[in-house]
């Protein structure tokens, strides 16, 4: 495991409760960050399974069926239950549904409402006295219906063991925030890069936020654009209008590590992707990731990922952590 990840003895266990009419986009943005985190870390940080109330397949709003592992009532629970609902949420808010959610609250450490899933949690009385959000088209109705909930117009809301987000794109924001909290901001940023979600907020949850520090975003973009011929941290700081010390402080505050460490990680991730996704020679991979000496690249690669590029290529000849369509 990369040495900047927060260690954990077992993968986090995630249940994904689906209702007919759920959004494919929302589901993908909830699950793909977990898959990407596992791939980037090279170890299973997360395990998930799909659930429905009755164990029957759930049909998305666009007609995609998802076969669950089983019914919610049979699930042993875990670290997080995602409740993903889309259209017809009020018809899903039955007494049986509320009973099942209240029972699940005793088996899962956290509950999260995605899209209109927050409506179901609120109907079950699981958001009383909590701050929460919902899909923005339902925000006013949600506030009128559930006066005991502190309704927030935000991309996502985290209130203790109750989480919520407003819809498809905000699902990614919430999951990226969880990854950052649980395994470090650097991994959160890597997941955002991998899935080409460049503007995921760092810590600000309000609508329209693009991150706490524009300077950090710009610095990272400079790093990503200068892989074969790396530039110094001093030059990066000058180009974003900061002193080196101030840039160091911002990176430590927001990403939990130094600019040099982030830059090195970006270059080595490039090398890993080239090792698994291409047939380039190790010497060419070294050059493309900013190392004039292939041996130096191999030593840094081994220190970061626990094996050489050649060994990784042999073990994973057809695998990639790259996003798929």
Q: Which two tokens stand for residue 164?
A: 């919520």
* pLDDT of the residue at 146: 97
Mean pLDDT for back-to-back runs of 10 residues, the chain (325 residues)? 55 97 95 94 93 97 95 97 94 97 98 97 97 92 95 93 92 93 83 70 38 78 90 95 94 86 90 86 94 94 90 64 37
Task: Produce one character per residue of 276-309: b if its CB has 16 or more CB atoms within 10 Å, e if not.
Answer: beeeeebeebbbbbbbeebeebbebbeebbeebb
H-only helix segments in 12-134: 24-41, 89-92, 95-104, 117-123
Q: How far is CA 62 from CA 116, 275, 298, in A?
A: 16, 37, 47
Domain boundaries, the chain: 12-183, 213-313
CA dihedral for 248, 250, 256, 262, sign (positive or negative): negative
pTM of the model: 0.72
Which class in CATH covers the domain with range 213-313?
A: mainly alpha
Report how far residue 160's alpha carbon sits from residue 178's, in angstroms, rounded to the nearest whole number.
Answer: 12
Give Cα 101 to chain centroid, integer Å: 24
Q: How far is CA 73 from CA 54, 56, 102, 127, 221, in A?
A: 8, 13, 11, 20, 46
Report how far residue 325's alpha carbon sits from residue 313's, in angstroms, rounded to the nearest whole number.
Answer: 23
Cβ atoms within 10 Å of 212's Cβ, excluding its own: 15
Q: Which two tokens stand for residue 34?
A: 């977990």
Residue range 12-183 in CATH 3.40.30.10: no
Report how far residue 181's alpha carbon sits from residue 194's, in angstroms, rounded to the nearest whole number.
Answer: 18
* pLDDT of the residue at 8: 55
* pLDDT of the residue at 4: 45
Same fold, 12-183 and 213-313: no
Torsion of CA 185, 262, 44, 133, to 10 degrees: 20
């Amino acid at each position: 495991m990369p040495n900047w990840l927060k260690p954990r003895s077992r993968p986090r266990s995630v249940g994904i409760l689906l209702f007919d009419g759920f959004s494919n986009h929302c589901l993908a943005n909830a699950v793909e960050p977990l898959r990407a985190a596992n791939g980037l870390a090279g170890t299973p940080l997360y395990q998930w399974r799909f659930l429905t109330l009755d164990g029957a397949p759930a049909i998305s709003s666009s007609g995609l069926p998802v076969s669950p592992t089983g019914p919610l009532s049979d699930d042993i629970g875990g670290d997080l239950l995602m409740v993903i609902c889309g259209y017809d949420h009020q018809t899903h808010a039955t007494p049986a549904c509320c009973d099942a959610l209240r029972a699940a609250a005793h088996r899962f450490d956290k509950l999260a409402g995605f899209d209109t899933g927050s409506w179901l949690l609120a109907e079950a009385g699981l958001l009383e006295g909590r701050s929460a959000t919902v899909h923005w088209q339902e925000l006013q109705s949600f506030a009128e219906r559930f006066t005991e909930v502190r309704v927030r117009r935000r991309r996502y809301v985290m209130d203790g063991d109750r989480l919520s987000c407003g819809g498809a794109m905000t699902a990614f924001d919430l999951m990226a925030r969880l990854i950052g909290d649980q395994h470090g901001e650097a991994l959160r940023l890597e997941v955002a890069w991998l899935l080409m979600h460049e503007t995921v907020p760092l810590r600000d949850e309000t609508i329209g936020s693009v991150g706490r520090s524009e300077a950090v975003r710009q610095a990272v973009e400079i790093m990503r654009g200068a892989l074969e011929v790396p530039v110094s941290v001093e030059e990066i700081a000058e180009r974003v209008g900061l002193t080196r010390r101030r840039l160091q402080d911002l990176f430590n505050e927001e990403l939990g590590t130094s600019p040099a460490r982030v830059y090195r990680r970006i270059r080595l991730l490039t090398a890993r992707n080239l090792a698994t996704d291409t047939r380039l020679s190790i010497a060419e991979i070294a050059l493309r990731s900013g190392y004039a000496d292939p041996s130096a690249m191999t030593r840094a690669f081994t220190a970061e990922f626990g094996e050489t590029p050649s060994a990784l290529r042999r073990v994973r000849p057809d695998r990639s952590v790259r996003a798929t369509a």
